[in-house]
Amino acid sequence: MTHGDDLLLQRPIASADDVAGLSSRDRSLLARWLADSTQCDDIALSRARSRVGLAVSVGGAVLLIPWIAELATTLPDHHSAHQWRLAWSGFDVALALAFAFTAFAGWRRRQIAITALTVLGVLLLCDAWFDLTLSWGTSEQTASVLTAVFAEIPVAILAFALAHRLLRETVHYVWHLEGREHPVPPLRRLPIIFVPTQAR
């Protein structure tokens, strides 16, 4: 046991004033003990859901590589819009990077996976929108509709759902550590947790 542990154990914590009287180091130690003792198994993502999200992210990144090559070599050089080939292949490069980074963040279990999933979902919806609107009335319309309905939109919804779930887990954890009463309010009504009350 460290010297800091001895100091904290010799000063029982029974009120907010007791906590305020602790040194910064001892408050950090107490917070770490509380965090280590917190059990949030009931809100943890199941391993199956984690594997599904990871598999979809990795698969999307891998499958987009040949598609980007296809676009770069087959799209017409001349179109009513300038740099048509660059615009589409560049967008799909961004989408592939979003898939890859989401997979990496999920694999490493990093909090930034929430942001990555949100960005991925938005890019997928944008891809579906532009595919549908720009192919409408052409020979590619049917393929664009099928791709949007069975691939882009469902995967975007999955990304948003996973991001929402992870954010809810984070909120539950912090809510529990702060000793707040349950139930936790919906995210749409939840203030930013780390902003001081006076600022809110």
Which of these ranges, 56-60, 72-76, 146-150, has the smallest mean pLDDT? 72-76
Residue 21 clears pLDDT 70, i.e. is over it: yes
Non-local (6+) Cβ contacts of 96 within 8 A are: 60, 61, 64, 65, 68
Minimal CA–CA distance to 32: which of 53, 58, 8? 8
Mean pLDDT (whole number) for 72-100: 84
Domain borders along the chain are 49-176
**What is the CB-side half-sphere exposure of residue 141 using CA atoms within 13 A?**
5
Compute how many other C-beta atoms are within 10 angstroms of the C-beta atom of residue 111. Answer: 10
Mean pLDDT (whole number) for 101-125: 95
Reported as a single tens digit per residue, the pLDDT across 143-189 is: 999 999 999 999 999 999 999 999 998 888 877 776 666 788 888 88
- In the structure encoding, which two tokens stand for residue 124, read together? 């997928």
pLDDT bracket for residue 196 (50, 70, 90): very low
Average pLDDT, the chain: 80
Reported as a single tens digit per residue, the pLDDT across 120-142 is: 999 999 999 999 988 888 888 99
The span from the CA of 167 to the CA of 175, in Å, is 12
- pTM score: 0.68
Question: What is the three-class DSSP state of 194?
Answer: coil
